[in-house]
Structure 1
Amino acid sequence: MKKYTQFLFAIAALLLLEINANAQGCVAIRQFSGLGNAVGQGNILNKGEWNISANYRYFKSFRHFRGTHEEPNRIEDGTEVINYQHGLDINISYAFSERLYGIVSLPFQYNERSSLYEHNRTDRHTTYSKGFGDMRIGAGYWLLSGEKAKKGNTAIGLGIKFPTGDYAATSTFYRGEESTPTEMTVDQSIQLGDGGTGLIVDFQGLWNIGGTNFWYYDGFYMFNPKETNGTVTNRRRENESIMSVPDQYALRTGVFHAFEKIHGLGVSLGGRIEGIPVRDAIGGSEGFRRPGYIISVEPGVSYMLGNLTGTLNVPIALWRNRTQSVTDIENSTPDDIVHGDAAFADYLINFTLAWRIPKKIASPFN
């Protein structure tokens, strides 16, 4: 029974591999994950064991929102901005003890952005960015041990996000009536990094709520004290000419069910919120940003075979809000309220493949 309970916790814990705050569109700066995605199996690792995971994420953003109001005419008129974003995070965690773990997360990205307004406003063209993103390292600690943790546990963690991604990536734009090829910095939404060093505070937890059912929760907040990064936005308003370095956050919770008759199979259903605040918690908030958030319902499925586990989560957007930014407020007058828009996705695809490596090296299928 004890071994079976540990198995259930193992597959349920993989739900914690999925948190990422790319906000499914232009609101977020880039593909970005909290440290939770690298330590989802932390509560099943014994001292000296490793967990290696690869998390792939994809979305297409194209629905424009100003506040919570969608602007369907953008699609009807063919003027919508379309972002295709692919991200791959290689995550390595190590258990220094049954309660203390360390993490390294290495992100890679490939992004495309299709628009009219950034070019000659008549013909649609595509800009690109690809490469290494902002690396994260951190550590966490499970609050309970031994018998106290047999029903569940909660971990808290701290991490650092380093500005290793290119935050001034360029691509070819086609400008003016003659569509002259011009090398310029790409939009903030597909930059590979933000140029700031961030502090990440995160948590994760998993509790048995009866039988083979579990309650899970995890989230993070990234403090980005740096105000702007010096990268030009190519926007007309002076106070929006340089890119901001904003905070980011995400929160998830839900229920996981493991099937007793189908060994290794589990399903989940939960909710999540992710986004960028209007103002940073620490430091200034000037420069251009697209603040906002998405609330999504998040179904998922996972399957474990030996030490190898695959997990698929597909958050589906229910509520999208492009909030008024600091520069929007500064540019507004009583007779002219400025409120920028942003493009959001309908859904996000998250797929994770994780391998728990015991002290004694074994095949993934042992």
Structure 2
Amino acid sequence: MKSTFTIYIVLICLLAAANEAFSQGCIAVRSGAGVNVGGGAVLGKGQWNAATNFRYFHSYKHFRGKHEETERVENGTEVINDSYFFDFLIAYGISDRLSVNFVLPFVNHARSSMYEHGGNPPNGLGDRHSTYSSGLADIRFGASYWLLDPATHAGSNISLGLGMKLPSGNYRAKGKFYNQGPNRDQVITSGLDQSIQPGDGGVGITFESQAYHNISEKLVVSALLYYMVNPREKYSTTNFRGSASELSVSDQYAARLGALYVTPVQGLGLYGGARLEGVPSSDLIGGDEGFRRPGYIVSLEPGVNYGIGNMAFSLTVPIAVDRARVQNFSDKQRTKETGELVNGDAAFADYLINFGFTYRFGMARHTVDVNDFTGSQN
């Protein structure tokens, strides 16, 4: 039936949102936003959902506050991050309203810069080199619950989720830095930049909510809200010079609002929306000391979803329209001391590529026959 298929596609869209990485460069907003709710969004009792998601971004544009420092690219001193994310998710429906999930994430990062390898010209004597990191990131698991009974509220619903993020990813990964030492002639192995560490070092607690409303048989609006609390304040490591450095374990947040149009083409849905993601200057719990690059990204997000049988594919490309690197703890302290505004910089991407695949299997006690999910629009 049309209405059933529409709901199925929008829930796949929510699942795609659940697995996306909220990370766009030096603002280290890591993956995982919405994963708990989305992990069980399409499940009935006794059903399983297996999903994979691939994400990529190329960040290189520097912002200080909301001001873009275009001279960094013009002078060739920009910092370039190329980041790849691979998530593997498994979820199980305990009931038609309650589901649990587990996410195994992997990352691969490459960071190219001059300032970390001898310094930017005209004062630096270095040249451009790259550092790398890869491997297991921070494992996530959680549970979500639909507030309304899906059997009687198929056209609209809202869910709440609670989860945890474990510090399984290496947060003290090291790499080679060139042109170091007094004479700029040494190669040292030291701690990588915070933005390409596979993990953030904290045990995080996630709170989230997803909702959808079926306006018609072909148009559905959906929304997502997400916040991760990281109680740990900071940890010690080394920087590119080999000296001691303290990095912040920061909170993260995200929001998403959009609409899905189910086209006359069997199985095909078109998505359009907007999203906000970021790292706050101050955490809800714990202190704010240690280095962090707080900021936010606002993006317009076109996408496409295709469902066939119990499988679904999704592709979204959020395009940044507003970016800002806001003041961190030390920026605020120095501003107080000097009376002049101090605001560090960060590099951002222009867009993010997300591609996901989901497969639902297992028996479910549900009022809707599984054949209704094949894409039929009779």
Same fold (TM over 0.5): yes
**Letter of the structure 1 residue corresponding to residue 295 of structure 2:** G
Deviations 1:61-113 (A, max 9, x none): 00000000000000000000000000011111110000000010111000000
Q: Distance in 2 between matches of 1:236 and 1:84?
A: 24
**Letter of the structure 2 residue corresponding to residue 116 of structure 1:** M
Q: What does 1:1-366 align with in structure 2 at a 5 Å threshold? A: 1=1, 4-16=2-14, 17-19=16-18, 20=20, 22-28=22-28, 31-34=30-33, 36-37=34-35, 39-40=37-38, 42-121=40-119, 122-176=126-180, 177-234=183-240, 241-259=245-263, 261-332=264-335, 333-359=337-363
1:25 aligned counterpart, secondary structure: coil
Deviations 1:96-150 (A, max 9, x none): 0000000101110000000000011231000000000000110010011155412
1:13 aligned counterpart, secondary structure: helix
Q: Distance in 2 between matches of 1:63 and 1:246?
A: 22
**CA displacement at 1:335 relative to structure 2:** 4.7
Q: Could you tell which deviates more after superposition, 330-339 or 131-140? A: 330-339
Structure 2 contact 12–42 (Cα < 8 Å) conserved: no
Structure 2 contact 24–57 (Cα < 8 Å) conserved: yes
**CA displacement at 1:306 relative to structure 2:** 0.8
Structure 1 contact 47–96 (Cα < 8 Å) conserved: yes
Q: Distance in 2 between matches of 1:123 and 1:171?
A: 16
Structure 2 contact 36–162 (Cα < 8 Å) conserved: no
**Letter of the structure 1 residue corresponding to residue 201 of structure 2:** G
2:148 aligned counterpart, secondary structure: coil
**CA displacement at 1:14 relative to structure 2:** 1.6
**CA displacement at 1:37 relative to structure 2:** 3.7
**Letter of the structure 2 residue corresponding to residue 357 of structure 1:** F
2:270 aligned counterpart, secondary structure: strand
**Letter of the structure 2 residue corresponding to residue 247 of structure 1:** D
Q: Distance in 2 between matches of 1:51 and 1:143?
A: 20
Q: TM-score, normalised by structure 2?
A: 0.90
For residues 233 and 338 of structure 1, do their structure 2 counterparts lie closer, same or farther at Cα, with a shift above 3 Å needed? farther
**CA displacement at 1:288 relative to structure 2:** 0.1
Q: Distance in 1 between matches of 2:36 and 2:230?
A: 20
Q: Distance in 2 between matches of 1:205 and 1:243?
A: 35
**Letter of the structure 1 residue corresponding to residue 298 of structure 2:** I
**Letter of the structure 2 residue corresponding to residue 62 of structure 1:** Y
**Letter of the structure 1 residue corresponding to residue 358 of structure 2:** A
2:74 aligned counterpart, secondary structure: helix
Q: Distance in 2 between matches of 1:212 and 1:124?
A: 51
Q: TM-score, normalised by structure 1?
A: 0.92
Structure 2 contact 211–224 (Cα < 8 Å) conserved: yes
For residues 179 and 89 of structure 1, do their structure 2 counterparts lie closer, same or farther at Cα, with a shift above 3 Å needed? farther
Structure 1 contact 200–220 (Cα < 8 Å) conserved: yes
Q: Distance in 1 between matches of 2:304 and 2:292?
A: 34
Deviations 1:2-36 (A, max 9, x none): xx32221111112212244533110115x4212x2
Q: Distance in 2 between matches of 1:133 and 1:41?
A: 18
Structure 2 contact 220–261 (Cα < 8 Å) conserved: yes
Structure 2 contact 190–242 (Cα < 8 Å) conserved: no
Structure 2 contact 296–325 (Cα < 8 Å) conserved: yes
Structure 1 contact 232–243 (Cα < 8 Å) conserved: no
Unaligned runs of 5+ in 2: 120-125, 365-369
The count of aligned residue pairs is 357
Structure 2 contact 36–161 (Cα < 8 Å) conserved: no
Percent of residue pairs identical? 45
Q: Distance in 1 between matches of 2:150 and 2:211?
A: 16
Q: Distance in 2 between matches of 1:209 and 1:41?
A: 24
1:347 aligned counterpart, secondary structure: strand
1:89 aligned counterpart, secondary structure: strand
Unaligned runs of 5+ in 1: none
**Letter of the structure 1 residue corresponding to residue 8 of structure 2:** A
